[in-house]
Amino acid sequence: MDGRGQGMTATVQGLEALHGRVRHGDATALAALFAHHRERLWRMAAFRLDSRLRGRVDPDDVVQEAYLDAAKRLRHYEGDSPTALFVWLRLIAAQTLVGVCRRHLGAARRDVGREVALGGPAPQATSASLAIQLVGDFTSPSGAAVRAETLGAVERAIDGMDPIDREVLALRHFEELTNGEAAAVLGIQPKAASIRYVRALRRLKAILAGVPGLCDEARDA
């Protein structure tokens, strides 16, 4: 095995060792693993933050609050693998994000932090949030009106996708979860998650190709 392979193995072994300590209530090990996953948890919080709160809520604050909550709930953790721990931490971060949205926007608003039954409470990847990311990543229209029109067209097209396909696309493409992690979050088998991701990518490619104003890079995505 080459040096790179040995390093990868050591990393996996290190995560497994830390996970074993977490299962025994080791708060120091939890802090180390949370730091390891912090960037991905931040990415989730930033991506799923309600658009009305952008500029008012810092995803870093959401992640920090999630860590404190995870530390309080450590004795209840019963996962059997490092992947299970990441899914658990992501769920806590998602629940924290829902709570932050409710505090800022009011618990009476029924649409605050739209929840998905799959995997527990979590802000759903809406058509709007996906469209904003796609238009931001793939287009640079010269005028605000053109950009707004493009954004609206992409949002309407994405809204026609199956909700689970839309969610698996968000998990894999924007949160950059592995197929196994996405399957665990959604509560489905890895094979089903893989099939849905391929289908969602195919649908997304058709959507991007059919929306005027998108650059060539988007059509080739």
What CATH code is carried by the domain that includes residue 201?
1.10.10.10
Show the beta-strand stretches assigned E in 28-117: none
Q: Quote the CA–CA distance of 61 and 45 in Å, as a whole number.
A: 10
Are both 138 and 84 inside the same structural domain?
no
Are both 9 and 71 inside the same structural domain?
yes
12 part of a folded domain = yes
Are both 133 and 98 inside the same structural domain?
no
Q: Quote the CA–CA distance of 137 and 39 in Å, as a whole number.
A: 19
The pLDDT value recorded for residue 77 is 96
113 part of a folded domain = no
Are both 147 and 195 inside the same structural domain?
yes
Are both 174 and 92 inside the same structural domain?
no
The number of distinct structural domains making up the chain is: 2
The pLDDT value recorded for residue 10 is 47
- Please give the model's pTM, rounded to 2 decimal places: 0.76
State the residue range of the domain holding 36.
3-105
The pLDDT value recorded for residue 54 is 80
198 part of a folded domain = yes
Q: Which residue has the higher pLDDT, 86 or 108?
A: 86
Q: Quote the CA–CA distance of 47 and 58 in Å, as a whole number.
A: 12
Are both 98 and 136 inside the same structural domain?
no
Q: Give the residue from 75, 105, 135 where a domain finishes.
A: 105
pLDDT in tens, 162-212: 888 888 888 998 888 999 999 999 999 999 999 999 988 888 888 777 766
Q: Give the residue from 51, 74, 105 where a domain finishes.
A: 105
